[in-house]
Structure 1
Amino acid sequence: MTMPARRTRPRTGRRSFDLRSTALFFVLLALLLCVLGFAVRTLAGTAERRPAWVAVLCLAGLAAVLAWGRRRHRLFGARTARRAAAALEEGVHTALEEWEAPAAAAPSVGDRRVADSAGYACADDYDALDADEFERAVAGLCERDGCTGVEVVGGAGDLGADVLAVAPDGRRVVIQCKRYGDGHRVGSQDLQRFGGTCYTVHEADVAVLVTTSDFTAPAVEYAEQCGIVCVGRPALRAWHDGTGPAPWLLVDAVGGC
């Protein structure tokens, strides 16, 4: 035996009409109107009996409003003047510091160094560099170790090449730089994108991927298959300190990060 389904009324977002609340609202509104009417009538009667008092009260109220406006304007003007004086004083101090600073001081940020007029400079702390500075630091290592024609080409539309150089033995070196943290390893997709352009587009004799982090196992496997030299954090530090070989000398041991 089947039971008939019980219909339920669909709920709507409207509130149901509450007679008690509506009546209370109109009662309060009526009381408010009565009080306002009584106050207006009392004021009108007072004005008829003693108009001089009403005039005095109006003038006093107007004077109070004007005095408050003037005081607020003076406070605003004084605050603006104090801010302008502070800004001017700070600007003078900054100008004096810039004037007294030695003109020959090399630009630096912390313990990182930037390129000078002779070319690209190496860096002592690669973790303190941003991506662009890291590319310039890698270019500095190439120059230091005898490369010629060193050029930083990283940026929009670089097609995977960040640093181009010619090794001391004449081979064309194409380097991609990955400024990653310790928890972000270079994956196989990064290697695949670089491998698709380093030889065919940039005509590399030696393709190198340098990172401040490390490589995943699939990335190392792909690099070994495609002949890409992987330079991770330990190999980068050894290259920097001179205790390890330059990347173009690792071609016979591809993937030895």
Structure 2
Amino acid sequence: MRQLALGFGLVAVVLFGAGVTLRSAARSAGDRPFTVLVTGLAALAITAAGMRWWRGRGARYPAGAWMPDAAAEVDEVGEAPAVAVTGVAYEEMDAQEFEQAVAELCRRDGCLDVEVVGGAGDLGADVLATAPGGQRLVIQCKRYGASHKVGSQDLQRFGGTCFAVHDAHIAAVVTTSDFTEPAADYAARCGIRCFDGGELTAWATGVGPAPWEG
């Protein structure tokens, strides 16, 4: 809504400026109608360019979608930098929605062959993908509340299948919550990467590494 209001405000300012320019030109031009015509055409061109720019933003970021800060859209060499995914409340999703959201983060950051396989008979894997470096990535997603930590039994079940069954090069558990100390210890011994709620937010907003990095 704030971005929409800014867009209408921009159009209004451009139109107002064009009107002022035309009136000033009409007063000062006197018997020089050609000057008025050229000034009017220039004002109309500026107005059209502003409206095209705003329509382009609307196409990139449809109503209801998150939008990056305007200052972060294009860097100084004209390339679009990595943008932060904001306004996503992972803890309010159900388990299936959370798996899809994690899969989308993988796609966003360059993974290939991303597949959501969570559900009955998933044998501990929720998201399968090929990491940007070519490694086979296996992720288990745990959409838990803040008071429900991922326990050692969760890690043991995943640890029994992620490498032997799913042939993972990189195995990770991503949660909206946290890990118990025994769970974190088990993961460290088995080479399973643990991403808690804070690390998930850092990954999603582009200020922290992805599960296959580091």
TM over 0.5: yes
The two structures have a TM-score, normalised by structure 2, of 0.60
Map 1:136-151 onto structure 2 (within 5 A). Answer: 136-151=100-115
Deviation at 1:124, TM superposition (A): 1.2
Provide Cα deviations, 1:44-87, integer angstroms capped at 9, x if missing partner. xxxxxxxxxxxxxxxxxxxxxxxxxxxxxxxxxxxxxxxxxxxx
Q: Does 1:226 align with 2:185?
A: no
* Structure-2 separation of matches of 1:233 and 1:165: 21
- Matched residue count: 135
Provide Cα deviations, 1:90-115, integer angstroms capped at 9, x if missing partner. xxxxxxxxxxxxxxxx897x98xxxx
Q: Does 1:238 align with 2:202?
A: yes
Map 1:107-146 onto structure 2 (within 5 A). Answer: 124-146=88-110
Divergent runs of 4+, >3 A: none
- Give the secondary structure class of the aligned counterpart of 1:173: strand
Candidates 120, 137, 143, aligned match of 1:179: 143
Larger gyration radius, structure 1 or structure 2: 1
The one-letter amino acid of 1:162's match is D
What are structure 2's unaligned runs of at least 5 residues?
1-61, 67-84
- Give the secondary structure class of the aligned counterpart of 1:247: coil
* Structure-1 separation of matches of 2:178 and 2:211: 15
The two structures have a TM-score, normalised by structure 1, of 0.50
- Give the secondary structure class of the aligned counterpart of 1:159: coil
Candidates 198, 206, 224, aligned match of 2:170: 206
* Structure-1 separation of matches of 2:117 and 2:107: 15
Instruction: Give 1:157's aligned residue.
Output: 121
- Give the secondary structure class of the aligned counterpart of 1:219: helix
CA RMSD of aligned residues (A): 2.1
* Structure-2 separation of matches of 1:107 and 1:154: 30
Higher relative CO (CA 8 A, sep ≥ 6), structure 1 or 2? 2
Provide Cα deviations, 1:230-254, integer angstroms capped at 9, x if missing partner. 000010000001000111013xxxx
The one-letter amino acid of 2:142's match is K
Deviation at 1:152, TM superposition (A): 0.3
* Structure-2 separation of matches of 1:187 and 1:157: 21
* Structure-2 separation of matches of 1:182 and 1:129: 13
* Structure-2 separation of matches of 1:206 and 1:239: 16
Identity %: 63
Deviation at 1:143, TM superposition (A): 0.3
The one-letter amino acid of 2:202's match is A
Instruction: Give 1:55's aligned residue.
Output: none
Instruction: Give 2:77's aligned residue.
Output: none
Deviation at 1:181, TM superposition (A): 0.1
